[in-house]
Amino acid sequence: MSLNSFGHLFRVTTWGESHGPAIGCTVDGCPPGFALSEADIQPWLDRRKPGQNKYTTQRKEPDEVRILSGVYEGMTTGTPIQLMIENTDQRSKDYGEIAQSFRPGHADITYHQKYGIRDPRGGGRSSARETASRVAAGGVARAVLAGMVPGLKITGYMVQMGTKVIDRSRFDAAEIERNPFWVPDAQAAADWAVYLDELRLSHNSVGAVIEVVAEGVPPGLGAPLYAKLDSDLAAAMMSINAVKGVEIGEGMASAALTGVENADEIRMGPDGPEFLSNHAGGILGGISTGQPVVCRFAVKPTSSILTPRKTVTRDGNEVDLVTKGRHDPCVGIRAVPVGEAMMACVILDHLLLDRGQTGGVRGQIG
């Protein structure tokens, strides 16, 4: 019910505004007895950190996470884990104008309409900065998953930036960490750099599609019908700023398939049933199949741009607004670690939920 929480048993509540003293989250329901320190979380935050290259906002912040509770002598205790990240680079002067006018495509106007008041500094609560809390929570989830499901691996990458779509025949996982776009293709990385530079210099921005894959997810996770694994993933990804679409497996393209094409046929392998394809994206009936869980989401282009756009002020005056300040030309880039974090949280949550209801015992085949 909580408006700023997600998850059932592994439950994360985030708080904080972009330019307040700090942001953070409470991770409740974490299993006890897992090794955890700031050093387990910080690397994930460092991947999301702005200012690492010219394609992300030039805001410079160390984004250092502190664990304030729930850990004793380097181990989780089962009590709530409070993670706090101080905001150190708050240039509130940049945002004076937007206190009075509403950036088109931004949450400014709806926060104002709903609450009658909003914190305009850096976008306040609607800033992408909130996603740092998600990444921190994801770091906790990963630390626990590492112990509970040793073979689990979560990988996010961009598959589309603007009109540029990757050629999957050139997919190279090793390339993901080598370029600023997290794109699994060196050639695409080079092309996209030129493309995004042009957009940035023309005071424009562009959207993106991120794919997150979880390998090694055990079968049986997901609780039909309203706590389905895919339903929870959809909610988790759609809750990320600027996301406008979520797909599982074939996603929207499944509409164009026939039943014959779409069926993931099954044969017996050495360790049990094996699927001959994965159109389902690892989820059937809301429950994981044991295949890789494949999720994609689209991020709209950054709405804060240097090109003037028509809007109105709180007083009802019509103006043309240029959003000065430091903005990501493609906010989708930094959404990659965020999507991974949400995947980690959802999977751990469902591991605990399934263990609660079923004891984790699996029906046998063969």
Nearer to a second copy, 2 or 169 (CB): 2
Q: Which of 212, 298, 344, 348 binds a second copy (CB under 8 A)?
A: 298
Residues 2 to 41 in contact with a second copy, rule: CB under 8 A: 2-6, 8-9, 11, 13-17, 20-24, 26, 28-33
Q: How far is the CB of 34 from a second copy (least distance, A)?
A: 10
The answer to the question of residue 151 lying near a second copy (CB under 8 A) is no
Residues 36 to 75 in contact with a second copy, rule: CB under 8 A: 66, 68-70, 72, 75
Residues 91 to 110 in contact with a second copy, rule: CB under 8 A: 102, 104-107, 109-110
Q: Which residue has the tokens 């909003």?
A: 118
Give CA angle at 209 (236, 57), nearest 5°. Answer: 85
The answer to the question of residue 303 lying near a second copy (CB under 8 A) is yes
Asked if 111 and 98 touch (Cβ cutoff 8 Å), the reply is: no
Phi, psi of 223, rounded to the nearest 5 degrees: -125, 100
The answer to the question of residue 90 lying near a second copy (CB under 8 A) is no
The answer to the question of residue 139 lying near a second copy (CB under 8 A) is no
Asked if 118 and 106 touch (Cβ cutoff 8 Å), the reply is: no
The answer to the question of residue 247 lying near a second copy (CB under 8 A) is yes
Nearer to a second copy, 53 or 358 (CB): 358
Nearer to a second copy, 174 or 316 (CB): 316
The answer to the question of residue 155 lying near a second copy (CB under 8 A) is no
CA–CA dist 165, 155 (Å, integer):
18
* Spacing of C-alpha 175 from chain mean position: 20
Strand partners for 24: 15, 84
Residues 178 to 207 in contact with a second copy, rule: CB under 8 A: 199, 204-207
CA-to-CA dists, residue 286 to 235, 328, 357, angstroms: 13, 35, 16
Asked if 282 and 292 touch (Cβ cutoff 8 Å), the reply is: yes
Q: Which of 122, 139, 162, 337 binds a second copy (CB under 8 A)?
A: 162
Nearer to a second copy, 154 or 330 (CB): 330
Q: Tokens representing 123?
A: 């976008």
To which H or E segment does residue 346 belong? helix 335-358
